[in-house]
Amino acid sequence: MHPRHRALMCLGLALALAAGSRAGGLPRQAWGSFQDCLDEIRQQCVPPPDWIVRSCPLTYVGRRPAYDAAGQPVLDAGGRQTSTPVTFSGRVFFPPAWRLPDGASVPVVVYSHGTELKKDAVPSAFGGQEWPLGAAAAAWFGFAVAMPDLPGGGADSGSFHPYCHARSLAYAVADSVPAILKTLHGPGYAWNGSLFLMGYSEGGYTTLATVKEMETHAGDYPAALTGSACMAGPFDLSGAMRATFIDTAVRYPRSYYLPYFVLGYHAVYGPRLDPLAVFAPALLQTGADGNILTWTDGSQDGLEVDAEVGQRLGMAPDAICLRSMFDPQWLARELDDPGYATSGTHALLAENDLWAGWAPTRPILFRQSPDDVNVPYANTLVTIDRLGQEIRQRGGDPAQILISLPIGQAGDHISHTEGALIAIPTAFAWFYFGMPDLDTFARLRW
């Protein structure tokens, strides 16, 4: 691990250290900290031995929202969108036997992973970068941590991932909960009634989409939410993210997000977002390396796609302006002013904003670096502001629901990836401590 990243991880883990000191029954001879536990998991074979963390595969039938050939939602007689059944997968991690006695009751944390291009980089296959964090949280804090494979991965790898499509992601995660609760019987645990959701980056977007779904359609789900951590997600697609797409100056460090997003929406909406019209001709030309339509097929990771985009455009991967990836005519018609206000693309982005038309009732922790370039901080600020307005209109107090704790200050230059090393462990600790308010949380030393 890069020294700067390890230092940031240690900063974020201080709260986890404090939590561990209060976690009854945790043997000191095993691990002295959450970081020790995480290191142990990373150094072990895959899967780790049961004395460190137990796990089982997760398989369940969920829903995929239905759209017709024109990209319009298919509605039932009551006006609600229909869906088709699909088999999803994932993995659930449990505390080892020495950590909690047989029959102990545990909280459940559903942890949605961030963006992964490769089809096998999913928790069910012990792939990707995040499953060790979920495993460590199960072992150190005594949670049952479920990590569903997001749509397009694992058992659903035959479909394209609906990147940042709110309803697709929300259905997949919300539908996992009954199956997750059943897995507790295998290692002999009971559910204590607490259900938490969390995620960072696209995982943060997925989590807030799921919170919205489960709060606005509570009668459709047998388990009620206790709280969530929705961190560094692109919640404001029609505003903050659109501004990033059209910016003429910002050099975007992870250009693969854009084709993944466009192709994901095309998989959902079909002709309503046609990649042949969206992308610059240079990126659509087929060469020995394929083109932008094939680079995100799941066989390569994000760094490889970034390199291919940069090579095709004749610039360093981290020097790309997203605007240069669009066809100029499409850009002028769909994203630039004045056409954007009434464009079809505006309608799609607005449909998937997560701050409009609802008010959460259970606590949500927001964490993000103000210097995040991958997902601009405005996404979090706008969402907190708009959800706060919705809560006040319904007679509630936003301060009791929306807990915002920035990761550092503007000018600290904490990146999107570095922010994850702080945010994810402290979210687990926030759940462990009972979701304290901002003042109490800020007083805890980390």
What confidence score (pLDDT) does residue 102 get?
Answer: 84
Angle at 317 between CA 129 and CA 257, to 5 degrees: 55
Q: Provide the mean pLDDT of the chain.
A: 92
Parallel/antiparallel/unpaired status of strands 83-94 and 54-65 = antiparallel
Tokens of 253: 């460090």
The predicted model gives 325-345 an average pLDDT of 98
- Helix 202-216 to helix 166-174 angle (10° resolution) is 70
338 preceded by cis ω (within 30°)?
yes
Contact 193, 186 (CB under 8 A): no
Stretch among 146-155, 292-301, 377-386 having the lowest mean pLDDT: 292-301
Q: What is the arithmetic mean of pLDDT over 10-25?
A: 42
**Mean pLDDT, residues 253-266 taken together:** 96
Residue 333 has pLDDT above 90, yes or no: yes
Peptide bond into 406 cis (omega under 30): no
Confidence category of residue 360, pLDDT binned at 50, 70, 90:
very high
261 HSE (CA, 13 A, CB side): 22
Q: Are strands 83-94 and 144-148 parallel, antiparallel or unpaired?
A: antiparallel
Identity at 331, one-letter amino acid code:
L
**pLDDT value, residue 154:** 97
Please state the length of the chain.
446
Tokens of 225: 């939410």
Q: What is the pLDDT of residue 381?
A: 98
**Domain parsing of the chain, residue ranges:** 52-236+353-443, 238-351
Q: DSSP string of 58-123?
A: EEEEEEEE-B-TTSPBPB-TTSPBPEEEEEEEEEEEE--TTTS-TT-EEEEEEEE-----STT-SG
Amino acid symbol at 61: V
- For the chain, how far is it from start to end, CA to CA, in angstroms? 20
Q: What is the DSSP string of 230-258?
A: EES----IIIIIHHHHH-SSPPBS-TTHH
Q: Can you give the pLDDT at residue 362?
A: 97
Sign of CA dihedral 299, 159, 168, 270: positive
Q: What is the pLDDT of residues 75-123, one digit of tens each?
A: 999 999 999 999 999 999 999 999 998 889 999 999 999 999 999 999 9
Cα–Cα distance measured from residue 426 to residue 423, given in angstroms and rounded to the nearest whole number: 5
pLDDT at 27 over 70: no
The owner of tokens 């050099």 is 251
Work out whether strand 190-200 and strand 402-404 pair parallel, antiparallel, or are unpaired: unpaired
- What pairs with residue 68 in β-bridges? none
**Phi (first) and psi of residue 281, to 5 degrees:** -55, -35
- Of 357-371, 399-413, 426-440, least confident by mean pLDDT is 426-440
pTM confidence score = 0.93
Per-residue pLDDT of 181-199, as tens digits, reads: 999 999 999 999 999 999 9
* DSSP H/E element including 279: none
Given pLDDT bands bounded at 50, 70 and 90, which one contains residue 442?
low
Cα separation, 240 vs 378, whole angstroms: 6
Q: Does domain 52-236+353-443 have CATH number 3.40.50.970?
A: no
* Residue 233 tokens, joined: 């997600």
Any idea what the Cα angle at residue 239 is, between residues 238 and 244, rounded to 5°?
A: 100
Closest by CA to 428, choosing from 147, 138, 129, 194, is: 138
